[in-house]
Amino acid sequence: MALLNILRYPDPRLHKIAKPVTEFGTDRLRQLVKDMAETMYDAPGVGLAATQVDVHERVIVIDVSETNDKLMVFINPEITWASEEKQVYDEGCLSVPGIYDGVERPARVKVKAHDVDGKEFDLEADGLLAVCIQHEMDHLMGKVFVEYLSPLKRNRIKAKLQKEERGMQRDSAQRAAGRR
């Protein structure tokens, strides 16, 4: 298994729309799911979409358990129903580190998806799981949660993350120069 590099907002690759998985049960797909799960747990997070690791296929891993032992895999997920009732959750994102803000979404959803072997399943979710499913499915459509926020908040977040990125690049370059 390997830790994958998580793209950081505002990386334009986060806006690519993921393509459906057409081959199930392959070693490549199993390895992708394992690597995504390891990356999510290491980050640490409760969900990760393949788009966030620059793989533009409709694959999501989620584990909202307290003990990190209830991994759920959704391949080619589709929301088949969403409640009219809404809820606001403070969301965060591994691609937008350190930023949390309220996003309003349907309180309950039904989702249809496939497992790694291609077996179709249906699931009804509420609470954090419903939020997480919707959040990760947004990634598959090229949308990051900050796009639900006001343009002012979004621009501040973008500027902050770009500044942090420049600082990390500068620190990395200085460390590399010091090793020579």
Annotated binding residues:
93, 135, 139
38 assigned to active site = no
- The radius of gyration computed from the CA coordinates of the chain, to the nearest angstrom, equals 17
Instruction: Enumerate the known binding-site residues for Fe cation.
Output: 93, 135, 139
The one catalytic residue in 136, 147, 164, 165 is 136
CA–CA separation, 12 and 33 (whole Å) = 23
* Catalytic residue set: 136
